[in-house]
Structure 1
Amino acid sequence: MSRKRLQLLVESLSRSAKHFTEGEVECLIKLFDALLAKSSSHFAVAGFNRTVFRDTLFSAFGMTDDAVLDRVFSTFDRDNNGCITVVEWVQGLAVLLRGTLEEKIKYCFTVYDLNGDGYISREEMFQMLKNSLIKQPAEEDPDEGIKDLVEIALKKMDYDHDGKLSFEDFEQAVRDENLLLEAFGPCLPDIKSRIAFEEKVFLETRKL
């Protein structure tokens, strides 16, 4: 990429991904290019594939849950073409690393709304909790415990009592109790890994 094209891309992305400075955007583009070089996908010209994305989130933030990683990939991959472009990468990380509460509520809701119908159903809660909870001893029926958790979540979060969570329900619940943001499984990096990632990636901007 020519210096001029890079500069235009940096300027455009620092406007759309408001939480980063131009120097930080440039660092993220460099990281994107390094990841792209790793990707053996036929998409490699446009972006990197699911495998590279999952490996990156695993090594950067310790995210291990396959189901959650697949959903995070889908929220980043806005045009739904199976690869992450540089624009999707920077805009996705803006929310993941520095998003406002409002942006994070939207992001988590999208991750948990598995079929994209605008609601988190009992089945979707069950699926997400089943994947994220530590396996219980064999003699206990884990499904029963998860069903109980789903009912507890609904009782606490389903404000209009229709047996599923709309975005409004979810938003209200999280605003009342911030800890409910990741109620159905961790899909945001913890503070420690977020700071470590930023320090490593944005090191160059601090030298300027």
Structure 2
Amino acid sequence: MGNKNSSKVDSTILTPKAIQMLKANTHFSEEQIREWHAGFIRDCPTGHLTKDRFISVYEQFYPGGKAKEFCKYAFATFDRDNNGTIDFTEFMLAIAMTQSGDLDERLALAFDMYDYNNTGTIDTTELTKVISAMYDLTGETNRKGDHDPKHRAEEIIRICDVTGNKKLTKEEFIAGCKNDPIIRRLLVPNV
């Protein structure tokens, strides 16, 4: 009898409950959260960041690269409820993780992005695709020899795969990245 849309939450409104949750799960203050929210709503008046808008933002940060493939993986990782958009909470959790999370958290997030088929492991094919997407993003054109994405993926898995199954678990990935600065710099830049 009542309006069935009455239970929907207005995604443009930052509620006290959302602020408390974000303060508890990020390193941001209430003032910073409110500032981020104002900017998010200015850029995304509906309260939702679409994949196309996400790509265009990345293209601004990497003008010499091609952001589309990389953004496919990143967007899927940040769209935690898989509804095809990123809301403010998902956005803030992603920002917090990529900017100020500790090394293990950031490496775990990177693993989740690279494990785009959600099997709990990363194989050579997945890693090759992500490395190619990272090259596209940064404008890297040298893809021969040691820079070949498949060669890089095979080398990373060879170094990090302690079980010998030619796949990396999250634990192997994190340990391998932490113990090898070259791998860490390639797979998790800005850490």
Q: Percent identity?
A: 21
Residue in 1 that maps onto 2:3: none
2:178 to 161, 175, 179: 175
Residue in 2 that maps onto 1:102: 104
Corresponding residue pairs, total: 175
Aligned 1:42-81 pairs, distance under 5 A:
44=46, 46-60=47-61, 64-81=66-83
Residue in 2 that maps onto 1:13: 22
Query: Pairwise CA RMSD of aligned residues?
Result: 2.9
The amino acid of 1:170's aligned partner reads F
Quick one: structure 1 residues 5 and 90, their matched pair in 2 at CA, closer, same or farther if it must change by over 3 Å?
closer
Aligned 1:123-142 pairs, distance under 5 A:
123-133=125-135, 134-136=140-142
Quick one: structure 1 residues 153 and 105, their matched pair in 2 at CA, closer, same or farther if it must change by over 3 Å?
same
- The Cα shift of 1:182 comes to 5.0
SS of residue in 1 equivalent to 2:56: helix
- The Cα shift of 1:104 comes to 0.3
Contact 1:47/1:86 (8 A) holds in 2: yes
- With normalisation by structure 2, the TM-score equals 0.78
Deviations 1:7-43 (A, max 9, x none): 44323321222x1111111111111111212xxxxxx
Contact 2:59/2:67 (8 A) holds in 1: no
Name which of structure 1's ranges 19-28 and 173-182 shifts more when overlaid on structure 2.
Answer: 173-182
1:112 to 106, 111, 114: 114
Deviations 1:69-127 (A, max 9, x none): 11111111100000111111111111011111111011110111121111111111222
Unpaired segments of 5 or more residues in structure 2? Answer: 1-9
Unpaired segments of 5 or more residues in structure 1? Answer: 38-43, 192-208
- Is 1:29 the counterpart of 2:31? The answer is no
1:160 to 160, 163, 169: 163
